Amino acid sequence: MSNGLKDKVVAITGASSGIGEVTARHLAENGAHVLVGARRIDRLQKLVSALQAAGARAEYQALDVTDRASVTRFVDFAVERFGRLDALVNNAGVMPLSPLAALKLDEWDRMIDVNIKGVLNGIAAALPVFEDQGCGHVVNTSSIAAYYVMPAGAIYCATKKAVNAITEGLRLEAPHIRTTIVSPGVTESELADTVTHAETAALVAAFRTEPMPADAIARAVGFAIAQPQSVDVSEIIVRPTGK
């Protein structure tokens, strides 16, 4: 895999923790140049310092995926700093699950803004770059929740179904641009920390007793990006054994 990732320029959103952070580490360890973005700058600084100390080429940029201008600056910075952009990993996401009857409208809006509009903002920023280059790769973090609806998960599941539809649409419309949907099962991350509905939080905690390490998803992302331009890994579902 290292040969396929070596010198690839990859920008990763939601990289201050969990899957995004571990993916940045994995790609950098295998020779990729990484740009990490998130709102928590202190965590990004710590991550990039560690990567640079290990000899990797890494940079960070403040990023709010719900802000179109912020995402554009993020992608532009990658091109300015590294000379090109080979892949964008739209990883930022939130999961404040709750029953519809709880009427947590602000949380519904937040999921739509981050999980759907954040992905669209990433595509809108990267697509012109990829068109100019004649190639590129969009990797979107989805979820096994895209394939079924669970109680308290109607909005979250809907956002992930939307991610899958958007990714497939891009694949069909831009055949020279590779697209990959990565759908994790239960994985070590801070996603569950966004659940504010007490009863749902208890159910989620019980469901997440044996999560996969985030490295399982990082390796899946690395596998997809490492393929030659002629090979498009369209979709990967990664879940704990037996789940």
pTM across the whole model:
0.94
Q: What are the tokens at 205?
A: 């905690």
**Cα gap 146→63, rounded to integer Å:** 25
pLDDT digits (tens, 9 = 90+) for 20-65: 999 999 999 999 999 999 999 999 999 999 999 999 999 999 999 9
Q: Are 75 and 125 in contact (CB under 8 A)?
A: yes
Residue 122: name the closest of 75, 180, 177, 174 by CA.
75
Please name every residue paired with 13 in a beta bridge, in sequence order, or none if there are none: 37
Measure the CA–CA gap between 95 and 88, rounded to whole angstroms: 21
State both tokens at 73.
Answer: 């600056």
Q: How far apart are CA 172 and CA 184, in angstroms?
A: 23
Distance CA 236, CA 230 (A): 17
Q: Which residues pair with 235 in a beta bridge?
A: 181
Q: Are 24 and 217 in contact (CB under 8 A)?
A: no
Q: What is the pLDDT of residues 113-145, one digit of tens each?
A: 999 999 999 999 999 999 999 999 999 999 999
Angle subtended at Cα 202 by Cα 218 and Cα 111, rounded to the nearest 5 degrees: 55
Which amino acids are annotated catalytic? 156
Whole-number mean pLDDT of the chain?
94
Give how far the C-alpha of residue 54 lies from the chain's centroid of Cα atoms, to the nearest Å. 24
Residue 98: DSSP 8-state: -
CA atoms within 13 A on the CB side of 41: 3
pLDDT > 90 in the chain, percent: 86
